[in-house]
Chain A
Amino acid sequence: MAKDIDIKQGIDWTTVLIYIALLGIGLMNIYAAVYNVDNPKSIFSLEHNAGRQILFMFVSFALILVILFVDFKVYDSFAYIFYGLWILVLIATIFLGSDIKGSKSWIKLGTFSIQPAEFAKTFTVMALAKYLSTLGVNVSKLKYAVRAALFIFVPPIIIILQKETGSALTFAILIVVLYREGLPGVYPALIISFIILLILALVFPNWTVVLGLALFAVLFWYLFLKRYERNRQNLQRVLGLFILFSGFVLTVDFVISNVLAPHQQRRIKILVNPDSDPKGDGWNVIQSKIAIGSGGVMGKGYLQGTQTKFDFVPEQSTDFIFCTVGEEWGFLGSFIILGLYFILLTRLLSLAEKQKSKFARIYGYGVASIIFFHVLVNIGMTIGLMPVIGIPLPFISYGGSSLLSFTLLLFIFLKLDAHRSYKV
């Protein structure tokens, strides 16, 4: 290969700038979240999360240098090996992991702990990209789609065994990657339909939802389908779908009360009606909404938040960091941060499309999907649009594993992109 002396060459600076901006915003808000007016400590103090986050940032910068120095072809060539090794690490974690807040997903390294599940995303995306870029693989065919799905499903199953359900859910978003690579659109469409139905079933009495479905089927039959399409075959399909959806709606309650764990049940109930348990699990959601809502247009000003202090909302600097943003920086700040994420996502997708190598393109889509899912769920949870699922806000939430894993995920893509003219 050509010797790269200038490791900066070809790096997409727009992405790097957004990355740095998000890191800076994150640090400021972590400091605000742990800030105690009665006893302010320096941002650099290692006694609280802000100081430690600075430390993690420096580790991340070192990691970036390593990524930029390593030959870009490594990721393609060793994708399966990384994936396989990491699955072993995940399995080992079940047995060696130390219990932190009821989940066995942490491995202690001296005074710090790392969460291998966070890094599993990167290696799964890598292996998936490798598989999908293999000659002859075509996910529009069921056989290949199932195999690709296996790559996606193995890590989250192990992660669920570590009792880290939130992290495991992330992998579901990789369906976006499959869709981009040719998975028939009906699958994502079905999934989205099911999600909408689930919400409807939770909010409204089930029989009204079924009635609505029936009405929709009739309207669809007479208004949407042309006369010549109203044949026996399509009637079977429409009826089939109606029965499937109705069945889903009618079994929602049963599934929720019999399959899900009690705390998961509560979270779903809270999503629909936080006031059902305002002092228990609904507490976070209510407090979070009040904090963000009380921010107004301009926010209360940096370090001036009143709702996000005193450590009443747990995970203030990790999962609920967006509350601090909403309260202190108001709508304007929230808008800017959401804006940054969406500029980043747009940029990542357009870079992905530019890739000559299929591997790099698929990897790029994987990166964008994973970041999107985290933003979707994390912010959604703080504004009451998503159930409480403990996953971090990329680059902003406090946490070494989270920051390092997102840095790894993103910068491998930037490294691949720097060599986008190469076709492997």
Chain B
Amino acid sequence: MLSDLVPITFMLESRKPVILIFFYIIGAIYILRLFYLQIIDSSYRSLGSLNSIRREINVPLRGQVYDRKGKLIVANEEVYDMFVTPKKVLPFDTASFCNLFNVTKSYLDSTIAIAKEYSKDRPSRFLRQLTKEEYASVIDAMIQYPGFTFEQSFFRTYPGNTMANALGYIGEIPQKKFEEQEEQYYRKGDYIGLSGLEKYYENELRGIRGVRFTLMNVKGEEKGQYADGKYDTTAVIGQNLYTSVSLELQQLADSLFKNKVGSVVAIEPSTGEILAIGSYPTYDPSLLSGKSFSSSYTVLSKNPDRPLNNRAISAFYRPGSTFKLVQAAIGLQMGVITPKTSFASSPSQFIFHSGPYEAANLYNAIQLSSNPYFYNVFKKILANNSETNPFKQARVGLEEWGTIVARFGFGKQLGIDLPSESKGVLPDVKRYDKIYGKEQWKFSNIFSLSIGEGEYGVNVLKLANLCATLANRGYWMTPHLVKKTGINEASSKGINIETHKTGIEPRHYEEVIKGMHLVVEAGTGRSAKVEGIEVCGKTGTSQNKKGKDHAIFIAFAPKYKPKIAIAVVVENGGFGGVASAPICGLMIEQYLNGIVKRQAYKEQVMNTSWTTVARHNSNASVVKKPSQTIIE
């Protein structure tokens, strides 16, 4: 046996030391190996530094934004950001440095201190947005300042100088978002779309960032690609947004809304394309671009008129009398009225009423915006079921009515390509059950719904969409601002647009539209009239408990094959026919004729002010009277 060759020299108990010694020998070998690797053999250390990897990020230019005719709305200005890598900084003449870059000594010290805290090995942003000229003037001197490097960057410029609210702005990625990101795409201080189109189309606009890994030696010199570029990615330029907005129309809206608070949305009915979208007061979009961002933002966010809010999609109003058009269409569809219907009895509830009590027919009722007429229409709609108990009847009726109204987009998001579109409120059975208790309410509790007052909440976009639905005689297309996204218009891909049907027959809409035409021709909305164009419209006055009522006007034109549908709300403008209808008329003229001939009238509208001082104060007595009224 082989075992006899090596005699058992140890007794069993003394085998523990053998095992321990075996363990220790291995341990000693490992310690020596580590000692060799980490201390003796400097080749690993220099290899380590040679091998230190620099990760260069190439941020591509952000996509630009164009109007429907290819005019530039948003562009980029190329600039340079300066970075500092604390470990590589060598002592330098701080006085001449501060002089060169026009920074204070304390800024220099504090920024480097923050950078050090973040990482000694990694670059931190030191200065933002040096222009090409500034960059050219300092680049030669940079040899004296190792550790400071440049990275190409950009800021947004606005050749169109409009549409600030819908465009939104970009800014440094907020801490919360930074932490939540899954792919770890953004670095601290990177730009990201924070609102509007910039936010909604962030992924298209930003492009794809390129990353390049390079090997560096101790001196910070490049020693070639890391892993033969296996991990490198090339930057892909951001996609442009080709919007449906008409820059001229948008700019006209801006000037018409001078001195006013409110908003406007114009839609091409057949496509759902937004032609103009404005929220007023607005701001100069370039204020929130570049270095001035934080100071401007603070000022704007403190403004009581909240210019940063996009009222067009987020403010809540009652639709007022514009809603009578919906009631008319539903009534006709249900067969509870005909265009010839008239009502004899005048309800006593309308103490706030300002129109004629008796309308000869439906056209008349729309033309003059008769409250009692639509009170009766709504009453008939709710009673259009087999229930006899008035409580049950109202309940079943409201439910049926609500289903149809919802098809107009009320009480839900329309799906516009903007973030934070408000759903609005469409009052339903549940809401009244909550207020009054189940089967504790009937028509007399909710009659204000008949004329667009009560528990509704709509934004201007929804009103414009209602107008487009009427113009289309019964359907609406998903409203959208961006027609195509891509590197150029040819390669672009459109976004998904759906057709939404109301389920009411076109012939009923024709009757409603006849009434709308009368509104502009000889009714409450005469100031929307445009020479040579058949405009159909409807006034609305949205009751406002806090102050003067909001003026609403919706209109589309021409009557046949409509090209534009507009909704305008002027806050505290009072009656819609006075404050809002002229704006609609001028915008229709601009869009359909390509020019506004009534320059004097335009000036007059522009100079009219409906703004009220300190509207947000609870003290109603400071509400200022409109400086001028413009009824024909």
Contacts and interface: CB of A to CB of B under 8 A. Distances in A.
B26 interface: yes
B110 interface: no
A9 interface: no
A273 interface: no
A304 B184 CA distance: 19
B351 interface: no
A304 B20 CA distance: 36
User: Interface residue tally of chain A, by bracket?
Assistant: 35 or more
A282 interface: no
A293 B5 contact: no
Contacts of A341: 27
Interface in B3-61: 3, 5-6, 8-10, 12-13, 15-16, 18-20, 22-24, 26-27, 29-31, 33-35, 37-39, 41, 43-45, 47-49, 51-53, 55
Contacts of B3: 184, 186-187
Interface in B420-474: none
Given A39-B178, A293-B38, A353-B16, A306 B30 contact: no
B48 A290 contact: yes
A94 interface: no
Contacts of B45: 293-294, 296
B48 A180 contact: no
B120 A331 contact: no
Contacts of B121: 304, 306
Contacts of A39: 178-179, 181, 184, 186-187
A189 interface: yes
A331 B40 CA distance: 11
Residues of B contacting A: mostly: helix
B228 interface: yes
Contacts of B212: none
Interface in A328-347: 330-331, 334-335, 338, 341-342, 345-346
Interface residues of B, number: 55
Nearest to A292: B37
Contacts of B15: 179-180
Interface string A179-200: 1111011110110000000000
B38 A331 contact: yes
A312 interface: yes
A331 B35 contact: yes
Interface in A294-327: 294-297, 304, 306-307, 310, 312, 326
A186 B6 contact: yes
Given A179-B19, A294-B48, A306-B52, A237 B33 contact: no
B227 A296 contact: no
A296 B23 contact: no
Residues of A contacting B: mostly: helix
Contacts of A349: 16, 19-20
Contact of B37 (A184, A345, A376, A383): A383
A45 B519 CA distance: 63
B2 interface: yes
Interface in A251-304: 279, 289-297, 304
A38 interface: yes
Interface string B164-198: 00000000000000110100101110000000000
A380 B19 CA distance: 19
A36 interface: yes
Contacts of A184: 3, 6, 8
B615 interface: no
Given A39-B178, A189-B6, A237-B2, A331 B39 contact: yes
Given A179-B19, A295-B38, A349-B20, A385 B48 contact: no
A176 B19 contact: yes
Given A186-B3, A306-B53, A342 B23 contact: yes
Contacts of A385: 29-30, 33
Contacts of A182: 12
A362 B37 CA distance: 37
Nearest to A298: B38
A163 interface: no
A218 interface: no
B48 A307 contact: yes
B12 A293 contact: no
Given A182-B12, A279-B227, A331-B35, A290 B30 contact: no
Nearest to B188: A38
Contact of A383 (B8, B22, B33): B33
Given A326-B38, A335-B34, A291 B48 contact: yes
A186 B44 CA distance: 40
B122 interface: yes
A241 B6 CA distance: 12
B352 interface: no
A353 B17 CA distance: 11
B7 to A, nearest CB: 9
B92 interface: no
A16 to B, nearest CB: 21
Interface in A30-76: 36-39, 41
Given A331-B39, A383-B34, A37 B119 contact: yes
Given A37-B122, A38-B187, A330 B38 contact: yes
Contacts of A295: 38, 48
A330 B6 CA distance: 43
Interface string A215-230: 0000000000000000
Contact of A292 (B34, B118, B227): B34
Contacts of A189: 6
B56 to A, nearest CB: 13
A372 interface: yes
Nearest to B179: A41
A167 B45 CA distance: 33
A416 interface: no
B33, B34, B45, B121 pick with most chain A CB within 10 angstroms: B34
Contacts of A241: 2, 5
A341 B188 CA distance: 40
A168 interface: no
A305 to B, nearest CB: 9
A259 B311 CA distance: 75
10 smallest CB-CB distances across A and B, nearest first, come from A294-B48, A293-B44, A331-B38, A184-B3, A39-B184, A293-B37, A38-B187, A186-B3, A342-B27, A334-B34
21 contacts: A37-B122, A39-B186, A176-B22, A179-B15, A179-B19, A180-B19, A186-B3, A190-B2, A279-B227, A292-B37, A292-B38, A294-B49, A296-B45, A306-B53, A307-B53, A310-B231, A331-B39, A338-B30, A345-B20, A346-B23, A383-B33
Interface of A: 36-39, 41, 176, 179-182, 184-187, 189-190, 234, 237, 241, 279, 289-297, 304, 306-307, 310, 312, 326, 330-331, 334-335, 338, 341-342, 345-346, 349, 353, 365, 372, 376, 379-380, 383-385
Given A180-B15, A349-B16, 13 more contacts: A37-B119, A39-B178, A184-B6, A185-B10, A190-B2, A279-B227, A294-B49, A294-B51, A330-B38, A331-B35, A345-B23, A346-B23, A385-B30
